[in-house]
Structure 1
Amino acid sequence: MKLRQSLQNKTKLSATLKSWLPILQSGLSDLEETLGEFTSENPYIEVQSKIETNLSSKIPKKSLERAPKNSLSEKIEALTIQEDSLYDILYEQIAPPLFPTATSQKIALKIIENLNEEGYFEGEIEKIALECESSSESCEKIRQRFSRLEPPGIGAKDVRESFLFQLDSSECDDELFSLVRELIEELEYHTRYKNHPRYVEAMRLIRSFKNPPAIDFFEKEPDIIPDLFVHDSSGQIEVRLNDAYYPTIVLDTARADKKHEYVKAKIKEAKDLIDALDMRKATLYKIGLMILEYQYDFFMGGEIRPMKLKDLAEEFNHAPSTISRAIASKYLECNRGIFSLKSFFSTAIDEETSNAAIKDYIADMVKNEERGKPLSDIKILQNVENKFGIKMVRRTITKYRKQLNIASSSERKKLYEISV
């Protein structure tokens, strides 16, 4: 009897999961939007936002009182400060006295149109000259005037010219200006000037330059809202769902004729949606418990162990692809930071070592290496083999280093010298 009931519950849950898979797949920040797609045509259900509530709790009451007395979202929106884009700021500066004529302004606007997202000029002066019925020399002179615009360095063709633009806008005496200009022109060989009494001061000024020049205008990463917390509570590590940001589904059928077929169908849809949301919570909570069990050493300060999607799939009796969708775009916060759930699933090098552990070890080695003598891939390979007691090949170390966005030993040496 119990077995039959268990199978019936399991079948019901599997059907619900299949029907509402997008709810399981959605990240916590997108969950409300996903739920809204299911509730838009159901008059008996309402999704109440907690993200908006949490946001509003951080806004001073006085500010809310001064805002327009309409919906809460409009009050929050009214308090949002709209930042000008890079192009807005540049357009405002295309005016006299720097660009006194209509032609010079037209050329300057064309230059702006040919800036890439980093703020470098990628256009063709000759083409702009043709479009603006001017000479290439005149167009180039106008581009050089960008050295006086904000942000400094904008409109340059490359890093070296961007530094020269930024030098022009800096405030330094003639001696330091001349030295910095020489260093920029021969940046790869700047150590030849080490004996100059103002060398350190000059390098400090160069390090203050923005590279790329439009770096302050790069699109900011959205805030990550973790689905799970793993924290030490009274000496015990526990897993907790981020209920503070979970939306609430409210079913209102007080005035509905529950005998009507349409009403019955909509109420069933609503209940299925609530079941799917509860299943999402239960599934992620169980995944969190299993990650804690498998990766306990990591949460205690150790390394990530090999863990496969198959390990979880067997526990849930689902295909690994379903588990993969369940952990996509989900994050876990612990005392070591915020991590994507996928980062806990790594390929095993052997039974006890994961490639993630090796990558962490490589990153830590490079971070603490001797700057005058950076570690070569061969030396890193030897250290990894000694540390983990395994055999690897150098090309694997090179692949991991590139995946970590770490330059080669010779390139790192040059970078270290520049940052003296």
Structure 2
Amino acid sequence: MLQTALGQAALQRATMSPRLQQAVRLLQLSSLDFAQEVSEIVAQNPFLEQLDPVAEAAHDDDQASPIEPASRQADVLIEDADAPWASAAMPWPATGGMVADRGDDDTVVNRVPVATSLRPHLHVQANALKLSDRERALVGLLIESLDDDGYLRQDLSELAALAGLEPAVTEQELLQALARVQVMEPTGVGARHVQECLALQIAEIEGLRQQRMARAIIRDHLDLLATRDTDTLAQVLGQSLADVRAVCERIRHMDPHPGWRYSADPLPFIVPDVIARQDKGQWVVTLNPAAVPRVSINQACFDLFQRHRGTRHAELAAHLHEARWIVRNVEQRFHTIVSVARLIVQRQHLFLEYGEMGMRPLSLRDVAQALGLHESTVSRVINNKYLATSAGVFELKRFFSRAVHTSNGGTCSTAAIRGLIKEILDSEDTARPYSDVDITRLLARQGLAVARRTVTKYRQMMNIGMAGQRRRRQG
């Protein structure tokens, strides 16, 4: 017979308080999202005020306490000052590289391009043409029928039925209107397929003979162009190999998606959280003022609250308590980011100086143990955080690379292996390019036991074709 009984047992269970959950969430936000979040918090809390980070930079040099380095013997000098790079307040393009200081009036807002989509751009050009009302309506219909690539995918007979004009629109009229669209900028717009798109761009090639070669390749031999079989192309066209290669290279630089240049999506900008630069042979890491929304307690509100504490206004007291916690949390966020960035630069300074070949193995555990943090904290810190250097802007995740053991008992990062593969392929004989098996053997001679399939994966990650696609006959 079953019996039931009631009992009590003590259990330990880790739970996160709402404030701790908010701190974790704020830590993993990007600099732009974090700035927006802080602005919203400041707007709701009367005890908080947001300061101009650039204007406060010089003041922070004197007032802010320095962040102690993880190792005093480290060969990296860390400064918690914002003053050395006044241009850090400017946005950094996502493609890497630094943006020069253009003066006090050159604000972030002034440098964000105005988004111009494809169709309005084409309508402006159409309005400059001398057209009848009927012709203008047909040109407008075609412009509105283009897809985001800039292609006209709909059949002309379907568009003729949609025009709704009297008398009925003929296909010849639409072809004439399409010809007007196809001479607009960007070149290649209004094409009905990729061959027509490339053919519209042939006029930009210099030389009539080269244009004829390009037209023949695009019309009849796109398959050979895709496989880079210039030897066969030269034989079929009856032209020299050098001329065929030159024309093929010019075709590859054509734009098969002209509409993408006028995407409605805004141009992405990255605001780096930290900046690394060399000063007298040492690496200096500083916070970027543009990524530092500085908040403080509003002294006027605080004094007013202190004078009327006897009223025991619970809501204001809660706001003040929250404001103090937010200020501490913001400072802790920047302290943690700088500490992690400092250690990364210390470990990976050879990568910043020499490129991929200098990348050392680095894991979340390495950073966490060195700084006394949890791995999950390090993971949140490097998420959507960027480091600006003279070599470009890198996401902090970029500096982490798995270790591969070498035959002499050492280790090498996977990033360094990719750099070595790139170096091998750059120096290969294009008449006899290396296969992936050849690359595997060359790496083994240097003490790196890398599987052939891994070499293939790394080559594909670098967008490098197979040996047959890279082969070029001499002469």
Identity over aligned residues, as a percent? 25
Find the counterpart in structure 2 of residue 265 from structure 1: 318
Give the superposition deviation at 1:32: 1.6
Residues 337 and 77 (structure 1 numbering): CA distance in 2 closer, same or farther, change over 3 Å? Answer: closer
**RCO greater where, 1 or 2, for CA within 8 Å and sep 6 or more?**
2
Find the counterpart in structure 1 of residue 457 from structure 2: 399
Q: Distance in 2 between matches of 1:209 and 1:197?
A: 19
Find the counterpart in structure 2 of residue 340 from structure 1: 395
Matched, 1:84 2:140: no
One-letter identity of the residue aligned with 1:401: R
1:75-114: CA deviations, max 9, x gaps? x857976353321121233459686453x54554444344
Matched, 1:166 2:166: no
Find the counterpart in structure 2 of residue 277 from structure 1: 330
Find the counterpart in structure 2 of residue 330 from structure 1: 385
1:198-224: CA deviations, max 9, x gaps? 878866865664443335435565232
1:323-378: CA deviations, max 9, x gaps? 21111111123343322111122223336122222222223333444444443222
SS in 1 for 2:32: coil
SS in 2 for 1:118: coil
Matched, 1:212 2:212: no
Give the superposition deviation at 1:171: 8.8
Residues 381 and 31 (structure 1 numbering): CA distance in 2 closer, same or farther, change over 3 Å? Answer: same
SS in 2 for 1:342: helix
Residues 51 and 398 (structure 1 numbering): CA distance in 2 closer, same or farther, change over 3 Å? Answer: farther
TM-score (norm: length of structure 2): 0.69
Find the counterpart in structure 1 of residue 158 from structure 2: 127
Q: Distance in 1 between matches of 2:389 and 2:269?
A: 16
Give the superposition deviation at 1:276: 0.8
Residues 363 and 158 (structure 1 numbering): CA distance in 2 closer, same or farther, change over 3 Å? Answer: farther
Find the counterpart in structure 1 of residue 376 from structure 2: 321
Does the CA-based 8 Å contact 1:126-1:136 persist in structure 2? Answer: yes
Does the CA-based 8 Å contact 2:340-2:378 persist in structure 1? Answer: no
TM-score (norm: length of structure 1): 0.77
One-letter identity of the residue aligned with 1:313: A
Q: Distance in 1 between matches of 2:257 and 2:44?
A: 48
Q: Which residue of 183, 191, 195 corresponds with 1:148? A: 183
Find the counterpart in structure 1 of residue 416 from structure 2: 357
CA RMSD between the two structures: 4.0
One-letter identity of the residue aligned with 1:305: R
One-letter identity of the residue aligned with 1:89: H
Give the superposition deviation at 1:278: 1.0
Matched, 1:249 2:307: no
Q: Distance in 1 between matches of 2:419 and 2:156?
A: 47
One-letter identity of the residue aligned with 1:321: S
Q: Distance in 2 between matches of 1:77 and 1:394?
A: 49
Find the counterpart in structure 2 of residue 194 from structure 1: 239
Matched, 1:37 2:40: yes
Find the counterpart in structure 2 of residue 116 from structure 1: 147
Give the paired residue count: 391
Give the superposition deviation at 1:16: 6.3
1:15-57: CA deviations, max 9, x gaps? 9654322332222233320211222210121223447994599
Give the superposition deviation at 1:140: 4.8
Residues 210 and 132 (structure 1 numbering): CA distance in 2 closer, same or farther, change over 3 Å? Answer: same
SS in 2 for 1:29: helix
Matched, 1:411 2:469: yes
Q: Distance in 2 between matches of 1:114 and 1:49?
A: 47
Q: Distance in 2 between matches of 1:354 and 1:197?
A: 39
Q: Which residue of 295, 298, 310 corresponds with 2:351? A: 298
One-letter identity of the residue aligned with 2:464: I
Give the superposition deviation at 1:194: 3.0
Residues 269 and 166 (structure 1 numbering): CA distance in 2 closer, same or farther, change over 3 Å? Answer: same
One-letter identity of the residue aligned with 2:383: A
Q: Distance in 1 between matches of 2:110 and 2:277?
A: 36
Does the CA-based 8 Å contact 1:22-1:34 persist in structure 2? Answer: no
Q: Distance in 1 between matches of 2:377 and 2:242?
A: 64
Does the CA-based 8 Å contact 1:304-1:354 persist in structure 2? Answer: yes
One-letter identity of the residue aligned with 1:86: L
Residues 386 and 130 (structure 1 numbering): CA distance in 2 closer, same or farther, change over 3 Å? Answer: farther
- Taking the TM superposition and a 5 Å limit, the aligned residue runs for 1:88-107 are 88-94=120-126, 100=132, 102=134, 104-107=135-138
Structure 1 unmatched runs, 5+: 1-13, 65-72
Matched, 1:366 2:425: yes
Report which stretch shifted further, 279-288 or 136-145: 136-145
One-letter identity of the residue aligned with 1:233: D
Does the CA-based 8 Å contact 1:295-1:305 persist in structure 2? Answer: yes
Residues 171 and 229 (structure 1 numbering): CA distance in 2 closer, same or farther, change over 3 Å? Answer: closer
Find the counterpart in structure 1 of residue 11 from structure 2: none
Structure 2 unmatched runs, 5+: 1-16, 57-88, 92-99, 226-231
Residues 81 and 310 (structure 1 numbering): CA distance in 2 closer, same or farther, change over 3 Å? Answer: closer
Report which stretch shifted further, 107-116 or 241-250: 107-116
Find the counterpart in structure 2 of residue 4 from structure 1: none
Find the counterpart in structure 2 of residue 384 from structure 1: 443
Q: Distance in 1 between matches of 2:347 and 2:243?
A: 56
| Greater helix proportion | 1
Q: Distance in 2 between matches of 1:226 and 1:395?
A: 36
Q: Distance in 2 between matches of 1:373 and 1:238?
A: 46
Report which stretch shifted further, 303-312 or 185-194: 185-194
Give the superposition deviation at 1:234: 2.0
Does the CA-based 8 Å contact 1:32-1:47 persist in structure 2? Answer: no
Residues 199 and 305 (structure 1 numbering): CA distance in 2 closer, same or farther, change over 3 Å? Answer: closer
Q: Distance in 2 between matches of 1:196 and 1:294?
A: 48
Residues 278 and 120 (structure 1 numbering): CA distance in 2 closer, same or farther, change over 3 Å? Answer: same
One-letter identity of the residue aligned with 2:305: D
